[in-house]
Amino acid sequence: MSAGTVIAVVLACVLVAALVAGAGTLAVRRVALRRRFGAEYDRLAREVGPRRARAEIAERQRRVAGLGLKPLTTDQLARYDSLWNAAQARFIDGPAESARTAAALVTGVASDRGYQVADAAQFMTDLSVHHARRLDGYRQARRTIERASVASTEELRQALLAYRALFRELLGMRAGARGAPAGRTHQLSRPARTWRRRLRGLGRNVRRGPDRLPALRAGR
């Protein structure tokens, strides 16, 4: 075998190895992105392809890093806890009003954290960086609120629960929004825990029938 042939074979092997390594690196990146961004990455990959999806996510991360997100103060945490308790307590007698207030509280706490909320589409995009796993629920909740006057009690309950999940993350009540600014751990107050149990009960009663609602109003 001539020296030229040997060199060609070696170069071919190096090229194949590089391609395999590159493919392996991309696979690892895809797994990491799916783990962090969940359905949001899959949605982007379907719409624009995996490569552009990765570039889009990187751009989102750069933008959000520039927002200067900050944790809430103790006073802000206490105020939002109180406001949420009041909104949640109104659900049984006014589910649409309660869900609308919950939507406003999510926007309010996000604004106080440093998100730019005036542009709804951009706000949703920015949320995907630290709260991607909550976006599907948040999108559905927004659609429900747009038709709140005709939405069922169960639909409004699900919207409220989706808002609450995002609200809790924005408050910093759950350590787990990877890469999010560090914040204080904030526990639910006793009224909030009570109404969380009632909301779960309301879901069961809605499925059983509206005749169970008066008992809930009476606090039983």
139-168 confidence digits (pLDDT tens): 999 999 999 999 999 999 999 999 999 999
pLDDT over 60 (residue 63): yes
Lowest mean pLDDT among 40-49, 91-100, 125-134: 40-49
Question: Which tops the pLDDT comparison, 3 or 21?
Answer: 3
- Mean of all residue pLDDT scores within the chain: 77
The confidence score (pLDDT) of residue 46 equals 86
Lowest mean pLDDT among 39-43, 64-68, 136-140: 39-43
Question: Which tops the pLDDT comparison, 200 or 106?
Answer: 106
pLDDT over 70 (residue 119): yes
Lowest mean pLDDT among 31-45, 72-86, 145-159, 194-208: 194-208
pLDDT over 80 (residue 28): no
Mean pLDDT of 16-44: 59
Is residue 77 a contact partner of residue 170, using CB atoms and an 8 Å limit?
no
